[in-house]
Structure 1
Amino acid sequence: MNFLQELGVLLKKNIREYGMYIALGAIMIIFTILTDGLFFSSRNISNLFNQMGYIAVLAVGMTLVIVIRHIDLSVGFMAGFLGAIAARMLREGMPVIPTILIVIALGTVFGLVNGFWVAKVGLPAFVATLAGMLIFRGALLLFTQSTGTIIVMNDSFNQIGNGFIPDIFHNENVHILTLIIGLAIIGLYIYSEIKTRNNKLRYNFEVLSMRMFILKLLFISAIIFYIFWTLASYNGLSWTFVITLIITFVYHVLTTKTVLGRHIYAVGGNPEAARLSGIDVKKITLFVFGSMGFLTAISGILYTSRLQSATPDAGTLFELDAIAAAYVGGVSAAGGVGKVANSLIGALVMASLINGMNLLGVGISLQYVIRGAVLIAAVVFDIKTRSKVR
């Protein structure tokens, strides 16, 4: 089999995993052409990664919720409400760290309440979280009724959503620390892939041929390096992107290297079989919804910090973008399938769509139509690829 034939077979067999990368590449190329290169400018790429932060964090949590065959519609207005609480506390003089801790604790409790209705009472997640969405929408309006938009004057808090990590090398042209971090991530990626390949070979599992494996390493490494080089050419890594990367890495390790992660996917694959094997399905459900609340609080903090204010309509349609990002990232509507790390790519796809349409001056009404179409396309793709696998 020659190189092109092998590449074609590889793409066909792994279209579910590689489809999102193809979609992202196509979107970026199209917008780069339509904006005469403005889309791929260092400044816009940096802005793009800042914009995707709060959606990416939600998408990580939403991926796990969908993996266990549930949905959470409350995350949008919950994020907006928690952001408004943070803004009010900061305006009243509360220090930044206690404010963040209190908001995260509240978000976790709200998530556990959603999980309680689903796991303990037996309410369908759609109904429980739809009620939560309405409750948090009303709470946000009540909370901002007397003041309207709450302006955040705390510079330290606002740096979370608008600041960049300092460069210890103080180079005027390139942010050296960003490049070092990028190279470290490439090194970790290559090490992880080689270790995974060797483990598969040890147990006689099917692996890529050596030439395709090397091509994959070079291709992904080149993309990572290009992204970090582009960011280093502007202001470097933003704190928002750093937080997003840390959260994605922690949840990736949690879901792939721990017993808890295996239990989450077991529950998603077959809840009854998981229960019979001794897994406490209710506790897993509580954990996943509590985790979703925790990440929703972080998303609300990132969004409020980026805007430097809390508005009465904050959080509108966040749940749509998070769900769409999860599906574009490869999570299955049938449950049990989906990688946390891929939700980052899904969030980047959604953020690229929004960013590109804004650069082209596309009206907000048409943007909603396109985003809805992308969600339908992602679910159709999931159904078709799943039926082919079967």
Structure 2
Amino acid sequence: MSLNPRQSGIYVAFALIVALFAVLTDGALLQPQNISNIVVQNSYILILAIGMILIIIAGHIDLSAGSVVAATGAVSAVLMVNMDLPWPLAVLITLLVGAAIGAFQGYWIAYFGIPAFIVTLAGMLVFRAVTLTVLGNQGIGPFPDAVRTLANGFTPGFLGNVGLGPLGGADIVTLLLGLAAVAVAATTQWRARSARIGYDQAVDPLPVFVLKIAVPAIVMMFVIVQLARFRNLPYVLILLAALVVGYTLLTNRAVFGRHIYAIGGNKQAATLSGVKVKSVTFWIFVNMGVLAAIAGVIFAGRLNQAGPTAGINFELDAIAAAFIGGAAVQGGVGKVVGAITGGLIMAVINNGMSLIGAPSERVMLVKGLVLLAAVAYDIWTKRRAAGATT
């Protein structure tokens, strides 16, 4: 059985944390409405985590993400509320503004050679100042119904509900989408296993392989059933799922994704191999700006206003999600699904401790210790692997 402790440990930890808080909250954590709340309330952090994991894999960091969320949210509010532009056009302009912010920072990092830590630290201050200037140090709202629906709404029940016995009714479309997602995931893994066998590569025994598919499938269907029992699929979950699939394909299958790993693994070797290091670095920061703009629109839409304090500490949560999810401090290691899992761990800790009435200082203490433990575990497994090869 092939088991990479650095990659699989995070999923085991996630399962244990969920089980712990399920017990501590007498099952309230896993209730349909609460699961839906966890997804909706943390969607913008998970979106930021996707962009952050790419930057960390490449060996950089972004401290400005929260300020960019605030700035782009402020721009969207001015466009939609003050200027009364149609919301699709306003969102498009906001995404372009996010891309421009990412390009501005990416230029100084990639082509001028200033460390990302310094550039984005400056950006954190600059774009917070931009936010205050754009908003006039006051909130702007309310947002159009379509934007609020994207941030807080749920898909309608197109085919009605189906009875699930003691569980009550559940939306048919949501259940069908869940089954389709499980089938696609299982088929993809089966094809990958068949390809490895074709190349005479080592694979897990069939019972182990089936177990690796069955356990995530059961967990996924449990979550889908709970969402279907509450108010169907949140729109932000559909958006997040599309982003996860797209960026997973980018990192695993696309040349650009391989170049990101190459740069983080060994920048000099990547340069000698013909990787356009400056260009790749530039574009991952442009991508971060776009994702921060998406998060900015969703966060502002959820609150129904853009405020001057929006996005504070969002970058820290996104960075923590990436490192808890298995990213290496030195770069070159990490997965999009791992970053999402890390973000969900933070979300479950926040939600679970809130349900049991824990004070905010205790929540911060636990989150800090979890982050420290995740990085320590990464370093320990790396040293262990290095010792085994010597």
TM-score w.r.t. structure 2 length?
0.94
Runs (4+) off by over 4 Å: none
Cα distance in 1 for residues equivalent to 2:129 and 2:367:
25
Give 1:151's aligned residue.
141
Instruction: Answer yes or no: is the 8 Å Cα contact 1:59–1:326 preserved in 2.
Output: yes
Give 2:292's aligned residue.
296
TM-aligned CA deviation for residue 336 of structure 1: 1.0
Cα distance change, pair 153–62 in 1 and its aligned pair in 2 (3 A) = closer
Query: Where do 5+ consecutive residues of structure 2 fail to align?
Result: 163-168
Give 1:241's aligned residue.
237
Number of corresponding residues: 379
Q: For residues 67-90 of structure 1, what are the alpha-carbon distances to aligned partners after superposition, in whole Å with 9 as ceiling and x for unaligned? A: 010000000111011112112221
TM-aligned CA deviation for residue 174 of structure 1: 1.1
Instruction: Answer yes or no: is the 8 Å Cα contact 2:143–2:301 preserved in 1.
Output: no
Give 1:3's aligned residue.
none
SS at match of 1:39: helix
Moved more, 185-194 or 374-383: 374-383
Instruction: Answer yes or no: is the 8 Å Cα contact 1:71–1:125 preserved in 2.
Output: yes
| Residue from 106, 114, 120 that aligns with 1:123 | 114
Residues 1-390 of structure 1 aligned to structure 2 (within 5 Å) = 13-92=3-82, 93-146=84-137, 148-171=138-161, 173-390=169-386
SS at match of 1:233: helix
Cα distance in 1 for residues equivalent to 2:362 and 2:352:
13
Instruction: Answer yes or no: is the 8 Å Cα contact 1:324–1:378 preserved in 2.
Output: no
Q: Return the letter of the residue paired with 2:98.
A: G
Cα distance in 2 for residues equivalent to 1:302 and 1:389:
41
Q: For residues 151-199 of structure 1, what are the alpha-carbon distances to aligned partners after superposition, in whole Å with 9 as ceiling and x for unaligned? A: 2241111001110112210227211111111111101100111111111
TM-aligned CA deviation for residue 299 of structure 1: 0.9
TM-aligned CA deviation for residue 339 of structure 1: 1.0
Cα distance change, pair 69–196 in 1 and its aligned pair in 2 (3 A) = same
SS at match of 2:30: coil
Instruction: Answer yes or no: is the 8 Å Cα contact 1:169–1:176 preserved in 2.
Output: yes
Instruction: Answer yes or no: is the 8 Å Cα contact 2:49–2:340 preserved in 1.
Output: yes
TM-aligned CA deviation for residue 52 of structure 1: 2.2
Instruction: Answer yes or no: is the 8 Å Cα contact 1:86–1:103 preserved in 2.
Output: yes
TM-aligned CA deviation for residue 143 of structure 1: 2.6
Instruction: Answer yes or no: is the 8 Å Cα contact 1:54–1:302 preserved in 2.
Output: yes
Q: For residues 78-103 of structure 1, what are the alpha-carbon distances to aligned partners after superposition, in whole Å with 9 as ceiling and x for unaligned? A: 10111121122211211110111011
Instruction: Answer yes or no: is the 8 Å Cα contact 1:182–1:225 preserved in 2.
Output: yes
Instruction: Answer yes or no: is the 8 Å Cα contact 1:249–1:341 preserved in 2.
Output: no
SS at match of 1:55: helix
SS at match of 1:224: helix
Q: Return the letter of the residue paired with 2:316.
A: L
SS at match of 2:332: coil
Instruction: Answer yes or no: is the 8 Å Cα contact 1:79–1:296 preserved in 2.
Output: yes
Cα distance in 1 for residues equivalent to 2:105 and 2:72:
15
Identity of counterpart residues, as a percentage? 38
TM-aligned CA deviation for residue 363 of structure 1: 2.3
SS at match of 1:151: coil
Instruction: Answer yes or no: is the 8 Å Cα contact 1:54–1:303 preserved in 2.
Output: yes
Instruction: Answer yes or no: is the 8 Å Cα contact 2:53–2:334 preserved in 1.
Output: yes
Moved more, 17-26 or 311-320: 17-26
TM-aligned CA deviation for residue 19 of structure 1: 1.3
TM-score w.r.t. structure 1 length?
0.94
Instruction: Answer yes or no: is the 8 Å Cα contact 1:152–1:158 preserved in 2.
Output: no
